[in-house]
Amino acid sequence: MVNKKRNIVILFSLIMFIGVSKPMYGTTPTEILTAVENKFKSAGGVECHFTVTAGGKKMNGEYRASGNKFSVLSPQGSTWYNGTAMYTYNPSTAETTISSPTASELAENNPLYYLTSASRAFTPVLAGTQPKGGYSLDLTPRTRKATVKKVNITVTSGYVPQQVIITGSNGTVTTVDIRNISYNARHASSAFEYPKTRYSKAQIVDLR
C-alpha cells in the first residue's frame, strides 16, 4: 500500500512538472522572440539580402541597419531612414517622398521590422508545424486596430531569421525570405541618408 501511494505521488509530480514546464522545444515563444530581437539590438550593424513576394510579384533587395536606422535598396525602389526622416525613392516616377513615419509606415518599408520590435505589440505562440533545427512562431496583434492580422516568423535554433510571412487585415499575404544575414556589418552614417546627389533630378514630395 505504501509503495502504491508513493507511485501515485511520483506520477502526480511528473504530471505537474510536465504541465508547468516549457514547450518541448526547450524554450517559450516569448523567449524565442526576445532572443531574435536581442540579436538585432546587440549587433554592431546588420545586413542581409532578401526577396519579397506579394501579389504574384517578387522583389529582391539589400537591407542594412544600425540601431533604429535602416536602408532598403532594390531596383523597384529604395528607402533610407536616419532615425528621424524617411526618404523613399520610386524609380518608375522619379519621385522621392520624405516623411516622418509612423510605426505602421516603418513596418511597410522595413522588411525586417517584425523581427526587431514585435514583442511590444504582438503575442507569440508556437506555430502548428515546426521546422527541423529551428522555430516557427505565429504572432497576433494585441490590438484590433492593427493593420496586420498575423505574422509568422521562422528562425534557426540560433535565432537567426529565415522567413517572415505577413498576413494583412485585408487578407493579403507578403512573404519575406532572408539570406546571408550578418550581425557584424560596419556601416557609415551615410548609409542611412538619402543620396541626393545620385538622384538630383528626382522630384521631391515632402510630407513632413
Q: Answer whether residue 12 shows pLDDT above 70.
A: no
For residues 6 and 141, give the distance between their C-alpha atoms in angstroms, rounded to a whole number.
46
C-beta separation of 192 from 73 below 8 A: no
Report the run of H or E that residue 15 belongs to, with start and end.
helix 2-20
Q: Answer whether residue 16 shows pLDDT above 60.
A: no
pLDDT confidence bin for 147, thresholds 50/70/90: confident
CATH homologous superfamily of domain 25-206?
A: Lipoprotein localisation LolA/LolB/LppX (2.50.20.10)
Q: Answer whether residue 4 shows pLDDT above 80.
A: no
Q: Which three cell numbers stand for residue 130?
A: 515546426
Q: What is the pLDDT of residues 77-108, one digit of tens each?
A: 999 999 999 999 999 999 999 999 998 899 99
C-beta separation of 204 from 96 below 8 A: yes
* Per-residue pLDDT at 193: 97
Q: What is the pLDDT of residues 35-50, one digit of tens each?
A: 999 999 999 899 999 9
pTM of structure: 0.83
Half-sphere exposure of 4 (CA within 13 A, CB side): 1
Q: Which three cell numbers stand for residue 136?
A: 516557427
- The residue extents of the domains of the chain are 25-206
Q: What is the pLDDT of residues 70-83, one digit of tens each?
A: 999 999 999 999 99
Q: Answer whether residue 33 shows pLDDT above 60.
A: yes
Residue 141, by phi and psi: left (phi above 0), alpha (psi -120 to 50) or beta? beta
